[in-house]
Amino acid sequence: MAPARTIPAYSLFGQPAGLVEPRFCHVERIGDRWKLHAGLVERHSHPHLHQMTLWIAGSGEYYADEEVSTIRAGTCCWMPAGVVHGFAVEAGSESIVLSMSDDFAREQFAGLSQFTPFHTWLIQKFDAEQHGWIGSLFARMEREYGSTGPGQVQSIGSLARLVIVDMLRMAEDHAGGTEERGGESSLLVRFMSLVEMRLGARPGVEALADELGTTPYLLNRACKAGLGMRASDVVRARHLQEAKRLLLFTVLDVGEIGALVGYPDPAHFARTFRTATGQTPRQWRDDRMRAIDEASARDRGE
């Protein structure tokens, strides 16, 4: 079994994790808590809060799951609740952070025809013109949060919706997006939600299509139109993503993790994982944990 690795869980940064009030939202700058972190925020999670961050000054690295991305002014990060993330930025770096409870976020993003953002993180780098526009939305959020006027929460939610729409559009453009098809987009959203609900069971595409009241052909067409992948590949990718998170941020053994993502046979899980990554689950875990420890030591100047 891999050595224990504790990932802190917070409400807002530095505050113990706990249930948040209904329709909760909070806006602050990372500079507000600079004395707590000095630009180095170790990997952590917010179990009950989704976060949207716009970097307005400085540069550095941002960690999400096992990925590392460079960030600069104009970078916008969307981190769903529970995603393990952190960052290391230079002195003088600044960002505006919007934190939202799950019910508040779902209320604001209801009806979006694109792929639901509640289980997938996004990091987008906007050009100068886009940054100006997105920056104005975050600045307005900040002003609204500091006000006491009527409609404060509704205004912040509307601004957040505009930001996530632009991020989703940009992600689609970078993926060689396709013309939007309302019915297929709606089916895709329902499909992704069902995949989450059945994460530990790993049902086949035919069973998922039947539960959605459609056919495998139509489900595959919706996935190809919205994500550029077949339905079976979407399911496999989501299970692989969850397996990686569990390998990296828990001390569960490989067999236990396989069972949690729908592979009760450890050998089957190991073969599937190796086919996808080129490594066994244990090799992948050891390599990533070593890399994380080395990166953390460099960030601390050790």
The model's pLDDT over 21-55, given as tens digits with 9 standing for 90+, comes to: 878 899 999 999 888 889 999 888 887 889 999 99
Amino acid 234: pLDDT: 86
CATH of domain 25-177: 2.60.120.280
Mean pLDDT of all residues in 152-174 = 83
- Distance between CA 70 and CA 36 in Å, rounded? 22
pLDDT in tens, 68-106: 999 999 999 999 888 889 999 999 999 999 999 888 888
Domain segments of the chain as ranges: 25-177, 183-294
The dihedrals phi and psi of 280, each to the nearest 5 degrees, come to -70, 160
Contacts of 137 (CB under 8 A, 6+ apart): 159, 162, 163
CA nearest to 66, candidates 302, 275, 243: 243
Rounding to the nearest 10 degrees, give the CA dihedral for residues 129, 131, 134, 138.
-140
Amino acid 19: pLDDT: 67
Tokens read off for 244: 């990686």
CATH of domain 183-294: 1.10.10.60
pLDDT in tens, 183-214: 455 677 678 778 888 888 888 999 999 998 99
Confidence of residue 242 (pLDDT cuts 50, 70, 90): confident
Q: Is it the case that residue 125 has pLDDT exceeding 60?
A: yes
Q: Is it the case that residue 175 has pLDDT exceeding 60?
A: no
pLDDT in tens, 55-64: 999 999 999 8
Q: Report the helix count and the strand count for the chain, using DSSP H and E.
A: 11, 9
Confidence of residue 257 (pLDDT cuts 50, 70, 90): very high
- Distance between CA 201 and CA 208 in Å, rounded? 11
Mean pLDDT of all residues in 272-284 = 94
Least confident segment among 10-14, 169-173, 250-254:
169-173
Amino acid 179: pLDDT: 36
Tokens read off for 147: 């006000």
